[in-house]
Structure 1
Amino acid sequence: MTDRLLMIFVKNLIPGMVKTRLAKDIGIDKALDVYMELVNHTNKITQKIEVNKAVYYSEYVEIEDIWDTGNYELNVQKGMTLGEKMSTAFDEAFDSHNKVVIIGSDCYDLNSKIIKKAFEMLDENDLVVGPAKDGGYYLLGMSEYLPQLFQNKEYSTDSVLKELLNEAEELELSVHQLPTLSDIDTLADLKETDMDWENLGADAQIDGEEEAY
């Protein structure tokens, strides 16, 4: 066991409930295909990272899916807003861990090296953040629970990262920033990646035996 925990927030694979902004341009089914590919990618890059790992589903725990392998603790997100959900997850995580990192499942450019770097930098910093090009962040790491960083925040805006960094400065926290990457929320974001999204099959299965890697 380790004192380090990687938390992964994912959405349940419900058509029309994932990548809603993207779906307006490419349709509900194709948006679901893209999200399935993103989840597959997130699973792939986290499998061999030697820390404890926990997946937090948006609605309910999936049975026998790509995460149900015994290598990930399976949970459901608790709270009404994204801020509440992340804050609760961090609060519970620090009951048994000293270094905690959270990621989502929207960043196709994220890799194992960056996640490992985040944990390394928590040995020297209070906070580690992965800036997203849209003004948010794709990763957040803490060496202690800091609930104030999640209070009164409006997520999915271009000021999320700026507000976080300003608050960290007010609290006199040391912060390490990782490389800036792009989350996939729009068609423009998608076109900037090397994902072959147009050829993703509508009937693709998301399980460990059919990963295209």
Structure 2
Amino acid sequence: MKNARMPPAATPAPHLLVFAREPVLGRVKTRLAAGIGAAAALAVYRELLALTAAAVAAAQVPATVWLAEAPAGGDPALPRPEWPGLPWRVQPAAGSLGARMAQAFEEAFAAGAGRVVVIGTDCPGLSADLLRQAFDQLLSHELVVGPADDGGYYLLGMNELEAELFANKAWSTATVLPDTLADAARLGLRVARLPTLHDVDSAQDLATWRGNPARG
């Protein structure tokens, strides 16, 4: 009797986590606002949100938006206007950025995802193609990172929760990426790197982007 053929393994389901803020005057881009004013910073943030939302929509992967704070009068059953068609959650009020990301990853894996990627909304060069590349890389790597040119990352993805990658980090500093990669090496994870992109956090970052939009 011939050996029965094994069915092909199912491709692990992808899920995208988007960490964002509500576009509210005085509550977003405070470092940028220190250089250009709160109203101008809000306008830039709305622009960045629109670019990110377009990339997410074009990537056509399941996604959840995690808002830093509960929006005033927000109905959790209804999508936010900046994120049409996407469900949203509120990030835990307590804990570091790393702890909040770890919880979002944990919930996505618990819901059945097998490849989970998190992004922010500070990187105008993020594209649907890069998002698709990230998920593709998780078929052959345990970790994928999108380095930002300020020493952080604009994207992080994994195919199971590696909680140590979120611990003991000085968030919003130039040590985040090297410390994350050092942890990954110590854990023996295969790491894929995407192209380095430009974050917009300060007036100088904005001037760099405006002077060379293709840099992203």
TM over 0.5: yes
Out of 102, 107, 110, the position equivalent to 1:92 is 107
Query: Are the aligned partners of 2:122 and 2:199 in contact in 1 as well (CA < 8 Å)?
Result: yes
Q: In the TM superposition, what are the counterparts of 1:1-213 in structure 2 within 5 Å?
A: 3-61=13-71, 62=74, 64-67=80-83, 69-70=84-85, 72-78=86-92, 79-95=94-110, 96-194=112-210
Which has the higher Rg, Structure 1 or Structure 2? 2
Tell me the distance in 1 between the aligned counterparts of 2:43 and 2:60: 29
Larger deviation, residues 56-65 vs 174-183: 56-65
Aligned-residue offset at 1:141: 0.4
Query: Are the aligned partners of 2:59 and 2:129 in contact in 1 as well (CA < 8 Å)?
Result: no
Counterpart AA for 2:68? S
Provide the aligned C-alpha RMSD in A: 1.8
Tell me the distance in 2 between the aligned counterparts of 1:195 and 1:54: 32
Tell me the distance in 2 between the aligned counterparts of 1:195 and 1:35: 17
Q: Give percent identity, aligned residues only.
A: 41
Tell me the distance in 2 between the aligned counterparts of 1:80 and 1:49: 30
Counterpart AA for 2:37? G
Larger deviation, residues 72-81 vs 118-127: 72-81
Q: Which runs of 5+ in 1 are unaligned?
A: 198-213
Aligned-residue offset at 1:167: 0.5
Listed one character per residue, the Cα deviations across residues 103-136 of structure 1 (whole Å, up to 9, x for unaligned) are: 0000011111111100000001000000000000
Aligned-residue offset at 1:66: 2.2
Aligned residues: 194
SS at match of 2:51: helix
Tell me the distance in 1 between the aligned counterparts of 2:174 and 2:88: 31
Which 4+ residue blocks in structure 1 deviate beyond 6 angstroms?
Answer: none
Counterpart AA for 1:157? T
